[in-house]
Amino acid sequence: MSLNFFRRVAFGLSPSDKKPDDPLPWALSQLNTVPDLLWPGSILAEKELRKKYGEWVYGDREVLRKKFKNDKDEYKKAKDDLRLKTGERYFELNEHAIRHYQTKYSQQPVFERFWLFWGNHFAISEKDFLAEFSTGPYQREIIRPNMVKTFEEMVHSVTTSWCMIHHLDNSESVGPNSRRGLESRDTINENHARELLELHTVSPSAGYTQEDVIQLAYIMTGWGHKWSRKNLETGDVWFDQEKHQKGDKQVLGVKYKNDAKRELGKVIHDLATHPVCIEFVSTKLCRHFITDEPTSEMINPVIEAWNKSNGNLIEIHKAVIKQAFKYNDTTHKFHPPEIWLMQLSRMFDLNIPLSADRMNYNFKSRPTNRQRQLSWILREIGHSPYRAKQPNGWSDVEADWVSPELLLRRFWFASVELPRLVKSENQLHDFIISCLKNNFDNYESMASLIHQFRFGTTEKDLGRKFGVICNLPGVLKV
């Protein structure tokens, strides 16, 4: 079996990893449970970070703008102080550290790859300081626990999460004939309903219409943040009957009787179990792990596992891994920048993320350059995971990642920045070769390309080695 499999479904083998005798059972055994988060530093709960979000947004919006409306310089200074006090410039850095530490050291790296997939499938785009405070906790507390449940349960948890509701403005959606709608003439916001159909479940292939979007938006009215003078929009999610559209609704030909908050669960059940949804998401999973254009022969076993298990994600994930194993030697998959970086970090034991004690923050001064380093690298190579530009997340297709600019960014990173991340004890040529041998069947031909630099240990020499190695076709794709 090709060593590529360990990079296709995970992040390669670290210098301390023992090569599994039987790769398929190794991979399948990792999907039954949710591994604990390993980060030994600060891991704040979603609710705690939501409070910090409120302190930042409303401290500025309600206090500073009013207080310093006639003094731009003092306003700027006060706003910078507020950034430090609330951690606005810190928490995203810490979430990146949590995420990368997990993929580097987890004993269930295959599970972690699926975590990255689902976080991107239910993406939160760059909006309203969500990346700074909320997207990381959402992926930790909403996505992760649901990965051993059913797809339907995951969709319901995501749909009713604070982060997704805020992201897609469902708190602003009011049924026209609800009590609130009749009093205020407010009406529906279609964002959340449209993305639930288009991106999260059935896709446009289901042939839904604009009227279906409207009817689903009616069903979703009432689900939002519990507003109060103290918490404003950072309150917990609840169902507000006074905003809910009265009457029966119809989505994709299915009628839903007027049933208040229970309507959403019923429509999610029908969407999450719809044959078009099952095919759409199964195809995305195969695209992520196997090839950009998966065939029906690759996809159908995943659909079959989905139907047999009633959407149990453990069984769906296992079916995907079996197909990835089956087609490992006959297909190729190009990895987006973040996964490429995670693999390099694990395979060569790079000195990222920063240690937990050095990531500690005093909320009085700006994060240091080293604390910002990982997030800066992600941005520079073009893939900051919590800052997707659109709600459909980051692309999983090679054509979107092979522009000259993006490839040059990877070459620059491997040649200039990566050598600074190599631990002093790992700079010897023999160590680099041993890492290649651990992860690549053609390691000898790879080693021959850097043979002329074998005696050099300077940063420049390391840059030459890694600039070549990390941008070879067999490293960029499996």
Q: What is the pLDDT of residues 159-189, one digit of tens each?
A: 999 999 999 999 999 999 999 999 998 999 9
* pLDDT confidence of residue 74: 93
Dist CA 222 CA 297 (whole Å): 43
Which among 236, 280, 241 has a CA at the least distance from the CA of 264?
Answer: 241
Given a cut of 80, whether residue 202 has pLDDT beyond it is yes
Q: Which residues pair with 125 in a beta bridge?
A: 388
| Cβ count near 20 (within 10 Å) | 15
Q: Residue written as tokens 């960029």? A: 476
* pLDDT confidence of residue 453: 79
Q: What is the pLDDT of residues 212-224, one digit of tens each?
A: 999 999 999 999 9
* pLDDT confidence of residue 256: 98
* pLDDT confidence of residue 87: 97
Given a cut of 80, whether residue 472 has pLDDT beyond it is yes
Dist CA 392 CA 387 (whole Å): 11
The mean pLDDT of 373-400, rounded to a whole number, is 97
Whether this model's pTM surpasses 0.75: yes
Read off the pLDDT band of 197 (50, 70, 90).
Answer: very high
Query: Which DSSP helix (H) or strand (E) runs through 325?
Result: helix 313-326
Q: What is the pLDDT of residues 28-68, one digit of tens each?
A: 999 999 999 999 999 999 999 999 999 999 999 889 999 99
Which tokens belong to 15? 């210098």
Asked if residue 429 lies in contact with residue 454, where contact means CB atoms within 8 angstroms, the answer is yes
Q: Residue written as tokens 């009227």? A: 211
Buried b (16+ CB within 10 A) or exposed e, 189-199: bbbbbbbbbbb
Asked if residue 213 lies in contact with residue 197, where contact means CB atoms within 8 angstroms, the answer is yes
Identify how many contiguous H helices and E strands the chain contains and give both numbers. Answer: 25, 4
Q: What is the pLDDT of residues 107-153, one digit of tens each?
A: 999 999 999 999 999 999 999 999 999 999 999 999 999 999 999 99
Dist CA 430 CA 454 (whole Å): 8
Q: Is 70 exposed, middle or buried (0-12, 13-18, 19+ CB in 10 A)?
A: exposed
Read off the pLDDT band of 228 (50, 70, 90).
Answer: confident
Read off the pLDDT band of 1 (50, 70, 90).
Answer: low
* pLDDT confidence of residue 227: 85
* pLDDT confidence of residue 451: 85
Q: What is the pLDDT of residues 413-447, one digit of tens each?
A: 999 999 999 999 999 899 999 999 999 999 999 99
Query: Which DSSP helix (H) or strand (E) runs through 257?
Result: none
Q: Residue written as tokens 């939160």? A: 124
* pLDDT confidence of residue 35: 98
Dist CA 433 CA 468 (whole Å): 13
Which among 53, 69, 396 has a CA at the least distance from the CA of 231?
Answer: 53
Read off the pLDDT band of 289 (50, 70, 90).
Answer: very high
* pLDDT confidence of residue 232: 82
Q: Residue written as tokens 């976080």? A: 119
Given a cut of 90, whether residue 340 has pLDDT beyond it is yes
How far is residue 290 from each of residues 294, 295, 385, 397, 477, measured CA to CA in Å?
Answer: 7, 10, 21, 11, 11
* pLDDT confidence of residue 225: 95
Q: What is the pLDDT of residues 446-461, one digit of tens each?
A: 999 988 877 666 888 8
The mean pLDDT of 336-363, rounded to a whole number, is 97
By percentage, how much of the chain surpasses pLDDT 70?
99
Which tokens belong to 38? 């390993």
| Cβ count near 323 (within 10 Å) | 24
